[in-house]
Amino acid sequence: MILVIPAIDLRQGKCVRLVKGEAGTDKIYSDEPTKMAIVWRGENFKALHVVDLDGAFEGKPVNFPALKAIVDAVDIPVEFGGGLRTYEAVKEAFDVGVYRAIIGTAAVKDEELLIRLLMEFGPRRIAVGIDMLDGIVQIKGWTDSSGLSAIDLGKKLKNLGVARVIYTDISRDGTLKGANIEAMREFAVQTGLRVTASGGVKSYEDLIHLQELEEFGVDSVIVGKALYENRFPCVELWRLNEKVLDDLGPTRRG
């Protein structure tokens, strides 16, 4: 069964969603990301995907305090990306308590750093974010083109020892237009990598279609706006129940 991972995107300490990653399209869903993390844990999700949007734009993490609060609040793995472009930034993320660090720009620009991270922390704890627009990988908070095709980069990463990528179709991200199933299938088949799909998921039907890609290596999916806007049958009911709950269950670390 494909693993569904809720997204928590941090901007100025708040939980937001952007459309296609573009600055200025922010929609705030919570002023308290930690409470949002507890909600997702209370709804029995098994992992969280946290992105420092400010960090992605500025080139270094900015929202470590909010990240630490999230990690401390829940007892499930948290993966984190956004501005992790130096060894020190990645080490600090692990010191904060994240399970997996996601490298994007640095995986394209600094092969030596990527190899060092893989050797020191292992391929289970280092993933690469491949953010694709019209087949070409975008970097620096999706503001620059790398000039590399997503598939070519994926093959190179596989040879370097990368095991997992977060594959995002930027044209779909935050749009609720549906996941790009065919592109994800082709990427997984061509590269042989384990793939976490991201971008555009709008409904339960998208999850069913992604489930069909599991045999090719697509074993998980990040979902953002569709969860925040109650696009799944069970979510609205959960929200109504949570309004009257004082305790969301065993969400905090002991």
Both structure tokens of 14: 């708040």
DSSP per position, 84-141: --SHHHHHHHHHHT-SEEEESHHHHH-HHHHHHHHHHH-TTTEEEEEEEETTEEEETT
For residue 215, give the DSSP letter.
G
Separation of alpha carbons 59 and 164, rounded Å: 22
Confidence of residue 238 (pLDDT cuts 50, 70, 90): low
Q: What is the mean pLDDT of residues 151-178?
A: 92
Mean per-residue pLDDT for 131-147? 89
Q: How far is the C-alpha of 68 from the C-alpha of 121, rounded, in Å? A: 20
Distance CA 71, CA 43 (A): 17
Task: Read off the pLDDT of residues 33-59 as tens digits, 9 standing for 90 and up.
Answer: 999 999 899 888 999 999 999 999 999
pTM of the model: 0.90
Q: Which of 97, 55, 53, 51 is nearest to 73 (CA)?
A: 97
Closest CA to 197 of 178, 177, 231, 220: 220
pLDDT at 253 over 50: no
Q: What's the CA gap between 11 and 212, in Å, rounded? A: 34
Identify whether the C-beta of residue 176 lies closer than 8 Å to the C-beta of residue 200.
Answer: yes
Place of tokens 């949007």: 53
Q: 97 phi and psi, to 5 degrees?
A: 120, 10
pLDDT bracket for residue 94 (50, 70, 90): very high
Question: Does the pLDDT at position 237 exceed 80?
Answer: no
Q: Region 67-71: what's the mean pLDDT?
A: 96
* Topology annotation, domain 3-242: TIM Barrel (3.20.20)
Which residues are annotated as catalytic? 9, 131
Model pLDDT, residue 231: 83
Provide the pLDDT confidence category of residue 216 given band limits of 50, 70 and 90.
Answer: very high
Top mean-pLDDT range of 41-45, 190-194, 202-206:
190-194
Q: What percent of the chain has pLDDT over 90?
A: 67
Type and span of the H or E element at 210: helix 204-211
Confidence of residue 90 (pLDDT cuts 50, 70, 90): very high
246-251 average pLDDT score:
53
Q: Which two tokens stand for residue 108?
A: 């394209």
